[in-house]
Amino acid sequence: MSSLPQKNEEKKVEYIELVYDLIFVYIIGRNNLILHNTEGGFVNVTTFLAYVLSTLAIIQIWNFSTFYINMFGKNSIRNYVMLFINMYLLYFIGQSTRSDWQEYQNQYHVAWALILINIGIQYILESREHKNNKELLKTINHMMISLFGEAAIILIAIPVYNRFGIQIALAAVLYGIIVTWIFADDEKAELVDFTHLSERAMLYVVFSFGEMIIAIAEYFEGKFTLNLFYFSLMSFLIVAALFLCYGLLYDRIINRELKTTGLVYMFIHILLIFSMNNITVALEFMRNEGVSITPKVLFLIISFLIFFTCIFLLMLFAKDRLKMCSKLIARVAIISIIFVVLMLAFKSNMYVNIALTVIYAYSVFGSVFLYSRNFERQS
C-alpha cells in the first residue's frame, strides 16, 4: 500500500484563490440584504431561516472548495477552470438571494448543486491519479459521498418546493456537515497543509470584515454633527476591536504548523463568519428606527457572544505555551455577563448601548492581549 503524499513544502495561497474569494464578498453582501426586510419591528422567522440557510450554504461551498485546493490543488488549467465555473454559478446564487427569494428557488438550487458536482468531479479525477493509494482513495471517496449526496438532496428539494411549498434545502447543509463529521476520524492530517488552510480561513474573515467596513459607512452619512461624530466613531471602534481580536489570535496565538485535519478549525470559522455577518446587520439595525429596540439589542448581544466564543474555541489550536487558562476564561465570562446585563438595562438608550459594546469588545481584546504578552515575557 502506498504511503500518503508528504507535504514537504509550505503550500502558498495562489493568486487564483484570492480572485475566487472575491465572489464571496459579493455573496456576503447579498445574504445580509435579506435581513433588511423587516416587518412588525423585526425580521420574520421565514426570512431569518432563509438568511441562515443561504449564509451556511455559501460558507459550506467555500469550505468544500478550500479543502480540495488544500489537498490536491495545483496552479493548473484544470483548477482554473473549476474555480471560474464555480464563480460563474455563484453569480446566479447571488442574484437569487433577495427578499423575494421564493421566486428564484429553482435557479438557486440548480447553481448550488452544480457547484458541488463540479467539486465532486475533481475528486473523481483525483481518484484516477491516485488509484494505487488505498488510504488516499478512502478520503476521496468520503468527500465524493458528501458532495454528490448533498447535491442530490438539493436537486430533490426543487420539485418538493415547487409541488408542496416545503423547503428542505436545510437538510442538504446538515447532511454535508453530519457526513463530514462521520468521516472525520478517517481523515489523514498528513493530507492537509494547516498553514495554507489557516491562511485561507483568515482571508475569508478579512473579506467579511470588508463587508462590515462597508456597512458602517452609513454612520458617516449626512452633515457633520456631534451625533454623527459619536456614532461613526463608536461603530469604527467596534469593527477595529473585532479585527484586532482576530488579528491577535492569528498572528500570535494560533500554531499554524499543527498536524491536524483542520475540520474543527474550519467548523469554528463557519460559526465565526456567520456571527460576523450577524454583527454587520446588527450594526445597521442600530441606526434603523423601524426595528424594535428589544430584538435588535438581543440580536447584537447574541452575535457578539457567538463571535467571542469562537475566538476562544480557536485558542484550542494555540501554541503549546499559549493554552487557555481558567483565570482568562473566568475573567471574560464575568465581563460578558456584565455586558449583557448593562445592555438590557440600557436597551432604550442607543448612546449607552453602542458605548457599552465598544467597552466590551476592547475589554475582551485587552484580556487576551495581556494573556499572550505575559506568556511571551516568560518565554
- The structural domain count of the chain equals 2
In a domain, 6, yes or no: no
In a domain, 243, yes or no: yes
In a domain, 3, yes or no: no
Instruction: Answer yes or no: are the C-beta atoms of 123 and 55 closer than 8 Å.
Output: no
**Number of H helices and number of E strands within the chain?**
12, 0
Give the predicted TM-score (pTM) of the model. Answer: 0.87
Owner of C-alpha cell 466564543: 309
Distance separating the N- and C-terminal Cα atoms of the chain: 44
In a domain, 86, yes or no: yes
229 and 369 share one domain: yes
135 and 19 share one domain: yes
114 and 49 share one domain: yes
97 and 232 share one domain: no
Partners of 254 in the β-ladder: 318
154 and 172 share one domain: yes
Task: Name, in order, each residue with C-beta under 8 angstroms of 242's C-beta and a sequence gap of 6 or more.
Answer: 209, 212, 276, 279, 307, 361
345 and 368 share one domain: yes
Identify the CA nearest to 350 among candidates 300, 277, 275, 279: 300
251 and 283 share one domain: yes
In a domain, 9, yes or no: no
Range of the domain at 87: 15-191
241 and 114 share one domain: no
In a domain, 47, yes or no: yes
Identify the CA nearest to 263 among candidates 183, 363, 161: 183
pLDDT in tens, the chain (379 residues): 334 444 445 677 788 888 898 898 889 888 888 887 777 778 888 888 888 889 999 999 999 999 999 888 888 889 899 999 999 999 999 998 887 878 888 999 999 999 999 999 999 999 888 878 887 888 888 899 999 999 999 999 999 988 888 888 889 999 998 888 887 664 566 678 889 999 999 999 999 999 899 889 989 988 899 999 999 999 999 999 999 999 999 998 898 888 888 888 998 999 999 999 999 999 988 887 788 889 889 999 999 999 999 999 998 898 877 766 778 889 999 999 999 999 999 998 989 999 999 999 999 999 999 888 876 665 5
214 and 172 share one domain: no
Instruction: Answer yes or no: are the C-beta atoms of 284 and 349 closer than 8 Å.
Output: no
From 191, 225, 255, give the residue that closes a domain: 191
315 and 256 share one domain: yes
160 and 207 share one domain: no
The per-residue b/e assignment along 2-23, b for 16 or more CB within 10 angstroms, e otherwise, is eeeeebeeebebbebbeebbeb
In a domain, 100, yes or no: yes
**Torsion, CA 268, CA 273, CA 279, CA 280, rounded to 10:** 180
